[in-house]
């Protein structure tokens, strides 16, 4: 499955979450901001480069991961569990894109491309079924300096 749409990003974050969550957004610590994501088992929020505005959002499910283009400035991999029923959402505080997927364990890849004169910022989410997904900051822009281990816990906002 492949889907594309637009989401108006607010407060430099976009989240992927179980639609049944009452509080789907996370509190961010300084370390979360530096690593570029805030994660709980049923939710992950990613930091965007642009503080706000319209973003192209592309979703690919069960596709082979492709080699990211050079204009991708951030790549983050995290585990993501699609709940029974398969209802998830990709959203910012003010806008969202509901999805329905097969329940199960996925490796979720977040890719972020800065805007160009020809297009707004672009976010690509790749969901690949995986029984042993991992956390990895694969590519990061110059303003992110990771030191120590990743923080793999967050609190609801």
pLDDT in tens, 19-30: 999 999 999 999
Domain assignment present for 154: no
146 is a domain residue: no
Domain of residue 50 covers 2-139
**Secondary structure class of 32 (helix, strand, coil):** helix
Nearest to 146 by CA among 17, 35, 49, 37: 35
Joined together, the tokens standing for residue 124 give 């690509």
Q: Is the dihedral of CA 55, 58, 67, 39 positive or negative?
A: positive
Angle at alpha carbon of residue 135, lines to 132 and 141, rounded to 5°: 150
Question: Has residue 102 been placed in a domain?
Answer: yes
Do 135 and 38 meet the contact criterion of CB atoms below 8 Å apart? no
> Can you tell me the mean pLDDT for 124-141?
92
Q: Is residue 150 part of a domain?
A: no
Give the residue-averaged pLDDT of 136-142. 84
pLDDT category at 145 given cuts 50, 70, 90 is: low
| Residue 155 in domain | no
Give the number of C-alpha atoms closer than 13 A to the C-alpha of residue 102, restricted to the C-beta side: 10
Q: Is residue 34 in some structural domain?
A: yes
Within-domain flag for 145: no
**DSSP one-letter code for 25:** S
pLDDT value at residue 142: 65
The total number of structural domains in the chain stands at 1
Higher pLDDT, 2 or 91: 91
CATH value at residue 10: 2.60.34.30
Position 147 in a domain: no
Higher pLDDT, 62 or 64: 62
Task: Express each pLDDT in 38-49 by its tens digit.
Answer: 999 899 999 999
* Burial (CB count <10 Å: 0-12, 13-18, 19+), residue 139: middle
């Amino acid at each position: 499955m492949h889907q594309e749409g637009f989401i108006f990003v607010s407060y430099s974050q976009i989240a992927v979450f179980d639609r049944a969550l009452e509080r789907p957004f996370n509190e961010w610590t300084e370390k979360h901001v530096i690593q570029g994501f805030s994660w709980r088992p049923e939710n992950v929020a990613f930091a965007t480069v642009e503080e706000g505005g319209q973003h192209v959002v592309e979703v690919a499910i069960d596709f082979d991961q492709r080699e990211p283009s050079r204009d991708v400035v951030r790549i983050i991999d995290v585990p993501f569990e699609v709940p029974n029923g398969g209802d998830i959402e990709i959203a910012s505080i003010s806008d969202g894109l509901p999805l329905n997927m097969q329940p199960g364990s996925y490796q979720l890849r977040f890719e972020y491309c800065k805007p160009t004169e020809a297009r707004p910022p672009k976010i690509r989410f790749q969901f690949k079924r995986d029984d042993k997904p991992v956390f990895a900051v694969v590519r990061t822009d110059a303003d992110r300096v990771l030191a120590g281990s990743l923080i793999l816990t967050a609190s609801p906002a």
